[in-house]
Amino acid sequence: MATDVEELAPLTEEQVRERLRAGKLVEGLEHMSPKYLEGMRRILTVSADTELVSAPAYLRAAQHAPALNNFGSAMSIIQDELAHAHIGYRLLGDLGVDMDWLIYERPASQFKYPYAFDVPLNSWVELVCANALYDQAGFVLLSDVHKVGTFGPWKRALAKVDKEETFHLRHGRTWLRKLVKEPDGKAEVQRAVDWMFILTLEWFGLPDSQKKHSEQLEYGFKGQSNDELRQTWMAAVVPFMEELEIEVPAHFEAEHDRYEIDCPFPARFDEEKREWLLDEGPIGWDEVLTRWRARGPMNRDYVRTLQRGYQTTSLRRAA
Ligand SMILES: [Fe+2]
Ligand SMILES: [Fe+2]
């Protein structure tokens, strides 16, 4: 379990702020205050968990690859994701968190990745849609950290991660362009986008007006707010979907110079059918948070897959 932040991070809030104002990066615990450390652990855990769980999620869908070389491309994406997860967990280890517990012993319900990954990807089409939508979300979030982040070791590592994420989303886009040329392929892409698009909108979290954890912006963990990141993602995805003639519930509103969501949002989701119950109108974020906290259908299964090897072999670190 995490060692006490008070003991590990010696600086006061003012000293951290002063360092950041001077344009210096935070290089380790010696440059952190307890609040900075706590916030950095939180955002790194979400990031590493997201990378890690994408591996079993993509592996499940990769089994439907149309040919062996396509399976190979999917495998190389999965290897990238495991390496991205490793970067995050290794940094958390440096920040005093017990990595074995975090990766291999933590209960599935305590993982912090976006709810979208708890909904199963059941086909090759759904995998490439995930590359175009989910990897785009990852790219938006991580490029923001890469640009404005204040924790040096993470910021530098993201140079490589960013390039690999570009490959993942290009993989998705190339496949989608090909699939929509056939009527059946296009219908299947539309069906997948219908549930995945809104799940990715949710990914960016609570609207700015309801957001907690203000240290994320204050300390330069992030440059853009949740709503701004959601806009950045739509600016990348909506025009691409228009090019494919795939319908999405969002459009650019020139008058306000921003993307508008055209369906009730947030909304109720039937996770068994993978359908949005839009007729029931918008719901409150408290209901969304309840769904997220309960986790979705694949949570235990994916975490079990990731932890099985550790639990059945003798790779544990000696005490
Ligand atoms: Fe990744
Ligand atoms: Fe990725």
Which ligand is nearest the CA of 171, by number? 2
Of all ligands present, the nearest one to the C-alpha of 158 is 1
- Say which ligand is closest to the CA of 84: 1
Q: Which ligand is nearest to the CA of 81?
A: 1
pTM for this predicted structure:
0.95
CA of 165 to the centre of ligand 2 (A): 5
Cα of 13 vs centre of ligand 1, distance in Å, is 31
The span from the CA of 178 to the CA of 217, in Å, is 40
CA distances from 191 to 85, 187, 246 (A): 30, 6, 10
* 229 in Cβ contact with 204 (< 8 Å): yes
Predicted pLDDT of residue 309:
87
Cα of 299 from ligand 1 centre, angstroms: 18
Cα separation, 304 vs 232, whole angstroms = 34
The Å distance, Cα 291 to ligand 2 centre, comes to 24
**234/79 Cα distance (integer angstroms):** 27
Q: How far apart are CA 96 and CA 111, in angstroms?
A: 18
**192, two tokens:** 């997948």
CA of residue 145 to ligand 1 center, whole Å: 13
Report which residue type is found at 292: W
- Expressed in percent and rounded to 5, the helix, strand and coil fractions of the chain are 65, 5, 30
Task: Note the ligand closest to the C-alpha atom of 157.
Answer: 1
266 prior amide bond cis, ω within 30: yes
Q: Which residues of the chain have pLDDT under 70?
A: 1-3, 212-216, 314-319
Distance 317 CA to ligand 2 centre (A): 29
Which ligand is nearest to the Cα of residue 47, counting in written order? 1
